[in-house]
Structure 1
Amino acid sequence: MSEIDTTKRSLEPEIMDDFDFRGEELRITLEDLEKVNSLLGGNQISIDGLKQLDLDRNSEISIVDVGCGNGAMLRKIADWGRKEKLKLKLTGVDANAYAIDIAQVLSKDYPELDFVTQNIFSSEFRSSKFDVVMCTLTLHHFKDSQIPEILHQFYDQSNIAVIINDLQRSALAYRLFKMFCAVFVKNEIARKDGLISILRGFKEHDINKYMNTIKVDTYSIQWKWAFRYLWIINK
């Protein structure tokens, strides 16, 4: 068995990094990624993060999901919010307009959801404020040199907290995901990008390094199954 190098974050690009990726391939890939997150409990991790916040049940709470893809995470939050009788205003942001189109179609029964095609580095997005900024399986798409700036931006844009749910970089995670895909994932793009994503993921010392750079004191890092970090930055 060949050795898997996880000492540093991989710089290999993913197909999903292409904002012009579109059509049936995009729809199927996003569907497969949604299935993976559902089976491995990935989206529930972000819900667990929201449960740790002191959310005001008497006021509207605005939440943005950065890199929302087909909107699966926000639909899950909406379902949870309805159950908890929370007043949620949910926004999905993605730089891929074709992904946003898919999200809008799939979310037609969720009036509390809104989707916008925006680059997070645009002045339009930078000027937006939210109670909670969420980043689910998106931060690993960025280079180390970009991440401190992104975190500082998210922190400035949030009123309550920033919640990041992303992958642990691990050789064991890589091998187990390969086995998982052999049974549950037939889409080659989802398989390939999923494996690259793990190698672009994080170790705990990476996260602490970023936090030392932006000098924010109140944050927590929690390891979650399956090979995820739930990372909450409180205001």
Structure 2
Amino acid sequence: MLSRIVPSMEKRYCGRELMDDPSSDEQALRATLRQFDTINRFLTRTRYLARTFFGPYVAAKRGETVSLLDVGAGGGDFARWFSAYCRARSVSAQITCIDTDPRVIAYARETCADYDTIQVVNCPAQRIDTLERRFDFVYAGHLLHHLPDEVIPGVLRNMYEVARKALVVSDVGRKRWVYVAYTLLAGVFLRHSMAFADGRLSIRRGFNTDELHHALCLAGLEGRLRVRALFPGRVYLAGSRTTPR
């Protein structure tokens, strides 16, 4: 009976999400981007990961400036939060957000318009090298599940190469209980957007720790980044390249 209600999570689903369709409804897309702020605040643990892996470096830079690359920036909510997090610690954060959907870029620029330290540019994750610079921190939240398996190792390698101090890559854990829990929560709280349908597809397109570790090995980064699961229903790769000082 369960298999009829909850799809198999044995392998990654390869179907496209609504928000990845350039012809999808723009108002529904914008509503989804607005809801990302709530989703990321309460469900994804992105702030916890940033405090854990970036926080010690920020604390050591009082009165100075740090830089962050946000890969797949979506609505810009993480960039805005990180800017405020640094400012509260007397640190200036110069943040570059990249995405490829013109509609998403336009929305992120609108929401970040009051932050002169945040810029949003059109750049695919596969071409980070074209930015021709490195950043203290590199962050990617819910990016990898939008990508086909064959390009993920290269993207991981690119992000690692441009990170001077620390890298965090967080995504969805592909588990049936996560699918059921999200279905119940999103059905009540995330209406009038793509978040219900796409969130469930995201879980089916997500990863387990073995798959992320395999991608890490293919990228030539085994031993340089850790792969962990994180409640509720998250998996991540993260690591530091230098000691905070």
Query: Is TM-score (shorter-chain normalized) higher than 0.5?
Result: yes
- Structure 2 residue 108 is matched with structure 1 residue 103: yes
**Cα gap change, 1:19/1:152 in structure 2, threshold over 3 Å: closer, same or farther?**
farther
Q: CA deviation at 1:147?
A: 0.6
Contact 2:83 2:92 in 1 (8 A): no
TM-score by length of 2: 0.87
Unpaired runs of at least 5, structure 1: none
- Structure 2 residue 230 is matched with structure 1 residue 231: no
Other-structure match for 2:12: 9
Letter in 2 for 1:25: A
Q: CA deviation at 1:32?
A: 2.1
Other-structure match for 1:129: 134
TM-score by length of 1: 0.90
Other-structure match for 1:169: 174
**Cα gap change, 1:14/1:49 in structure 2, threshold over 3 Å: closer, same or farther?**
farther
Unpaired runs of at least 5, structure 2: none
Of 51, 57, 61, the residue aligned with 1:57 is 61
Counterpart secondary structure, 1:85 = coil
**Cα gap change, 1:26/1:106 in structure 2, threshold over 3 Å: closer, same or farther?**
same
- Structure 2 residue 179 is matched with structure 1 residue 211: no
- Structure 2 residue 30 is matched with structure 1 residue 24: no
- Number of aligned residue pairs: give it: 235
Contact 1:60 1:89 in 2 (8 A): yes
**Cα gap change, 1:87/1:52 in structure 2, threshold over 3 Å: closer, same or farther?**
closer
Counterpart secondary structure, 1:54 = helix
In the alignment, the residues of structure 1 paired with residue 41 and residue 128 of structure 2 have an alpha-carbon distance, to the nearest angstrom, of 34
**Cα gap change, 1:83/1:135 in structure 2, threshold over 3 Å: closer, same or farther?**
same
Q: CA deviation at 1:57?
A: 0.2
Contact 2:98 2:121 in 1 (8 A): yes
Other-structure match for 1:74: 79
Q: CA deviation at 1:227?
A: 0.8
Query: Superposition RMSD on alpha carbons, in Å?
Result: 2.1
Counterpart secondary structure, 1:145 = helix
Counterpart secondary structure, 1:11 = coil
**Cα gap change, 1:90/1:20 in structure 2, threshold over 3 Å: closer, same or farther?**
farther
Contact 1:45 1:165 in 2 (8 A): no
In the alignment, the residues of structure 2 paired with residue 20 and residue 135 of structure 1 have an alpha-carbon distance, to the nearest angstrom, of 25
Letter in 1 for 2:114: D
Other-structure match for 1:47: 50
Q: CA deviation at 1:175?
A: 0.4
Q: In terms of mean alpha carbon deviation, does 158-167 or 175-184 score higher?
A: 158-167
In the alignment, the residues of structure 2 paired with residue 126 and residue 115 of structure 1 have an alpha-carbon distance, to the nearest angstrom, of 12
> In the TM superposition, what whole-angstrom CA distance separates every residue of 1:77-128 from its partner, at most 9, and x where no partner exists?
1111111222211111110121111112112222211111222234763534
Counterpart secondary structure, 2:2 = coil
Counterpart secondary structure, 2:115 = coil
